[in-house]
Amino acid sequence: MKSFVVCQLPKAGLGNQLFPLMHARLFAALNKLDCKVVGYHQFKLGPYLRREKIKRNYSGYFNFEKSLFSEAIDKIGIRLRSANAGQILEPVMKVLQENETQDKIFVFEKLPTYHDYFIQLRDYRDQVRQLLYSSLQQSVTDSMDRLPVPVIGVHIRMGDFRKLKKGEKFSGGHVRTPLDYFVQVIQGIRKIHGHDLPVSVFSDGYPEELKEILLLPNVTMVEGNTDIQDLLLFSRSKILVTTTGSTFSYWAAFLSDAPVILHPDHIYAPFRPDYINERYYEGAFQPNSDLLLQNIKHIPY
């Protein structure tokens, strides 16, 4: 039996779904195997119950998607073939010997730990970026060329992240990054540059929840795009300010060729390879960092 790779998409947000998807796509590419993706037809009730602005429906983003009926046929085929093959869950990312890929089904469905989200993808960053773009519908990639590139891109996750309680220490997790943190970083970047650089806010929150940011001069909220368009557009910002605990933010950071600003209390393993971060900077907002200063001052305006 010819071996193949299976990606079972979790019932989660776009950032979390990209982890098993890109692990599966990369492993299949490295070992010249077919990759089957299932689980893309999902209905998520939570965003409706919580009255979130974003309903997390990702149908139509990727070129591997099929109808509900065709996906069901794929699932049956995978189940039948699994009975006659060895199943390898979450294999290590590497090129296998020929005898290691015989009569096997390699399955990716889990999320990495927050200590190092990109541990298996970081060294293959360029290939992952290429595989991601090649997985998108042509309409998605075409639309990106028509969207203006943000200068300061700020992602503010709201949705199912709870508000920080009064007097509570910001410990990350599913807690909203405080808005005054974003204000301080925006003002710090502008002070270094010497201009009120335009700010593009990407958020699943409502404008009234973001007044503290939107009342700043030259700040606009990005609206009207799909989630995948927002993620890719955010990744193209001249400088990125991320939300703590949001894999949407972290995927944009991973894809980005620009400085990435992280909350100082929640920095773990780097998202990108060293050669990228040595050029563009990744870390807390540090006004005394020569690399960060250089990158900010060179932002065209």
First to last CA, the chain: 58
If pLDDT is split at 50, 70 and 90, which confidence band does 79 have? confident
Predicted pLDDT of residue 78: 87
**CATH for 149-297 (3.90.550.10, 3.40.50.261, 3.40.50.2000, 3.40.225.10):** 3.40.50.2000
- Three-state secondary-structure class, residue 8: strand
Pure H helices in 31-147: 46-49, 68-82, 125-135, 138-144
- Mean pLDDT of the chain, nearest integer: 91
Residue 202 has pLDDT above 80, yes or no: yes
Going by pLDDT thresholds of 50, 70 and 90, the confidence category of residue 57 is: low
Can you tell me the distance from the alpha carbon of 147 to that of 149, in angstroms, rounded to the nearest whole number?
6
**Residue 32 neighbours by CB distance under 10 Å:** 8
Instruction: Write the single-letter amino acid at 99.
Output: N
How high is the pLDDT of residue 98?
81
Distance CA 188, CA 281 (A): 16
> Confidence class of residue 285 from pLDDT cuts 50, 70 and 90?
very high
pLDDT in tens, 88-102: 999 999 999 888 778
All residues at 6 or more sequence positions from 190 whose CB lies less than 8 Å from its CB, including other chains = 196, 197
- 71, 82, 235: which is closest to 153 by C-alpha? 235
Amino acid at 4: F
Over residues 61-82, the mean pLDDT reads: 88
- For residue 193, CA distances in Å to 127, 151, 185, 189 come to 33, 12, 12, 6
Sole residue written with tokens 């003002």: 187
Burial class (CB in 10 A: 0-12, 13-18, 19+), 64: middle
Q: Say which DSSP state 12 is in.
A: S
Residue that is written with structure tokens 């900077």 in the block: 281
CA 289 to chain centre: 26
- pTM reported for the whole predicted model: 0.92
Question: Is residue 64 pLDDT above 60, yes or no?
Answer: yes
The 10s digit of each residue's pLDDT in 149-198 is 999 999 999 988 888 887 787 776 788 999 999 999 999 999 999 999 99
Element holding 214 (H helix, E strand): helix 211-214
Distance CA 255, CA 235 (A): 6
Q: Which residues contact 204 (CB under 8 A, 6 or more apart)?
A: 52, 53, 54, 157, 158, 159
Hey, where are the domains in the chain?
A: 4-136, 149-297
What does the alpha-carbon distance between residue 200 and residue 186 come to, in Å, rounded to a whole number?
11
Q: Which residue, 154, 150, 132, is CA-closest to 141?
A: 132
Q: Scanning the structure block, which residue is given the tokens 């910002």?
A: 237
Give the pLDDT score at 30.
Answer: 97
